[in-house]
Amino acid sequence: MTGDLARLIADQFLDTSPKAIGIAVSGGSDSMALLHLLHSFAGDRGITLSVATVNHGLRAEAADEAAMVASVCAQLGLSHHTLDWKDWDRSGNLQGEARKARYGLLAHWGQQVGVDCIALGHTMDDQAETFLMRVGRRAGVDGLAAMPQSFEREGMQWVRPLLRARRLDLRDYLTAKNIGWVDDPSNDDDRFDRVRTRKALSILSELGIDADAISDVSQNLLAAKDALNHQMLTIARDIVTLRAGAVAIDENALAAQHPELRRRLIVHALKWVNGAYYAPRNSAIMSVLDALEHAPSATLQGCELRRKDETLWIFRELNAVAHTQAKPGELWDNRWHLVPPVGGIGPKDTPTLCALGAEGLQYCTDWRALGIPRAVLLSTPAVWNGAHLIAAPLAGWSQNWQARLNRGEDTFFAAHITH
C-alpha cells in the first residue's frame, strides 16, 4: 500500500521538476498523509518543502490543531506557517467563503516563500462527494468532470497528488506508521451538504456506486469536456479577434455553431476578460443571450456583451473598473501592465493607472480610426496625473506608454481556462 501511495506522489511530478513545494496541511488524515508522503519523496531529490495551515477561526480547537501540525513539521525539519482568516463579514455561504479565503491565503503565502506549487490533500472520496453534490445542482459536463490533477488559481500552481487514493488507505498508512491526525467534528455535522452527501455515498456503495465507480465516470466526463473545449478553441481561431483586451466574435459564424459550443466560447471569453474563477451559471448565459436578441448590449460578471456591425464584443464593463487604481509597475484590474516610456517617469510626475472613461477619451481624437467600439475603450487602462490624462495606449494616444496583458492574447487560443 505504501508503495502505491508513493507512486501516486512520484507520478504527479513525473513531467515537472519542482525545486520547492508548498503543502496545505489541516491536521486531518488526508493532509497528514500527504505531508509524510511528500517528505519521503522530497528527501533524496533536493526538493524544499514548506507547510502552511489555515486557521479559519471558526472553532476553538483550530489553533491547537495548527500547533499540532507545527510540532510535527518541527520534528520533520520543515518550516510551518499558520495563516489566520480574519476577513469574513458573515455574509455568503460559509463553506464557499472559507474555501475562497483558503486559496487566497495559501497563494499569498506560497508566493512569499517562493514555492513552485502547492499540494492539496484531495482524495478519491472528495471527488465522489463533489460529483454527487453537483448532480444535485443539475451540473453539466464541466461540473461533473473530474477534478484536475493540477491547475492554476490566484497566480499559483496547485497539485492534487492523491486524487486516485482512498481515504481509508491513507488512514491505514498513517496507522501503520504510528502517525496521528485530528478529526474535525464538523465532518459529522449534518447541517453541511458534504456531510450528508458522504453518508448517502455509503448507502449507494451497496449498489456499486462507490468512490471508485464515480471516479471512473468523472474521468470519462473529463475526456468529453476536453474534447468539447478543443473543438471550441478550433472554432475560436477562425471567428475570434482580440482587440484592446476585448474579444470580438463574428456573430454569423457564431450562430452557425452548435449551441453548446457557442455557450462554451462565450464563457471562455468572459473568464479571459474578467479572470473569474467560476463560470456564470448556464441560466445566466441564456438570459444574457436572450437579452441581446432585443437590445444591443447586456452585462454579466463584470463584463459587457455588445452587438455591433455583426460582431459580438465581450469586454470589461466600465462600472466594474471605474474605481480601480494602481501605480505604474503594479497590475491593473489583474490584467494589465502599463510600461512607461524609455527614460522613465519625470521626477515631478505622480501617475496613477485608472480606467480611461469618457473624460479621458475626449483627448484621444483619433480613437474612431481604431475600429474599436467606444464602450470598449472606456474601460481600458490609462495613465493619469490627477485629473490630467498622461497616456491612453489602447485608445490611440500612447505618448510612448505600452499596455501589456498579464495573460497575453496567445493564452486565449492556447487552452481552455481551467482552475
Q: How confident is the model over 75-119, as pLDDT tens digits?
A: 999 999 999 988 665 565 666 677 888 999 999 999 999 999 999
pLDDT value at 413 more than 60: yes
Query: What size, in residues, is the chain?
Result: 419
pLDDT value at 368 more than 90: yes
Q: Where are the CATH 3.40.50.620 domain residues in the chain?
A: 2-217
SS3 state of residue 114: coil
User: In terms of Cα–Cα distance, which of 58, 75, 68 is closest to 26?
Assistant: 68
Q: Residues 6 or more apart from 107 whose CB is under 8 A from it?
A: 118, 153, 154, 155, 156
User: Cell 457564431 belongs to which residue?
Assistant: 254
pTM of the model: 0.85
- pLDDT tens track for 289-323: 999 999 999 999 999 999 999 999 999 999 999 99
Averaged pLDDT for residues 32-46: 95
pLDDT at 418 (0 to 100): 45
In the CATH scheme, what is the code of domain 2-217? 3.40.50.620
Structural contact between residues 182 and 28, judged by C-beta atoms closer than 8 angstroms? yes
In sequence order, the β-bridge partners of residue 381 are 355
Mean pLDDT (the chain, rounded)? 91
Banded model confidence at residue 17, pLDDT cuts 50, 70, 90? confident
Structural contact between residues 247 and 175, judged by C-beta atoms closer than 8 angstroms? no
pLDDT value at 207 more than 60: yes
- pLDDT tens track for 243-261: 999 999 999 999 999 999 9
pLDDT at 415 (0 to 100): 61
pLDDT value at 417 more than 60: no
Longest dimension (CA), the chain: 74
Fold held by 228-318: Chorismate Mutase Domain, subunit A (1.20.59)
DSSP letters spanning 346-375: -TT---EEEE-HHHHHTT-TTGGGGT--HH
Averaged pLDDT for residues 162-175: 96
pLDDT at 62 (0 to 100): 86
Q: Residues 6 or more apart from 79 whose CB is under 8 A from it?
A: 50, 51, 73, 113
35 compared with 193, residue with greater pLDDT: 35
% of the chain beyond a pLDDT of 90: 74
pLDDT at 419 (0 to 100): 38
For residues 289 and 278, give the distance between their C-alpha atoms in angstroms, rounded to a whole number: 19
* Side chain identity at residue 84, one-letter code: D
For residues 349 and 100, give the distance between their C-alpha atoms in angstroms, rounded to a whole number: 38
Least confident of 221-235, 259-273, 347-361: 347-361
Q: Where are the CATH 1.20.59.20 domain residues in the chain?
A: 228-318
Banded model confidence at residue 175, pLDDT cuts 50, 70, 90? very high
- Here the cell at position 260 is 453548446
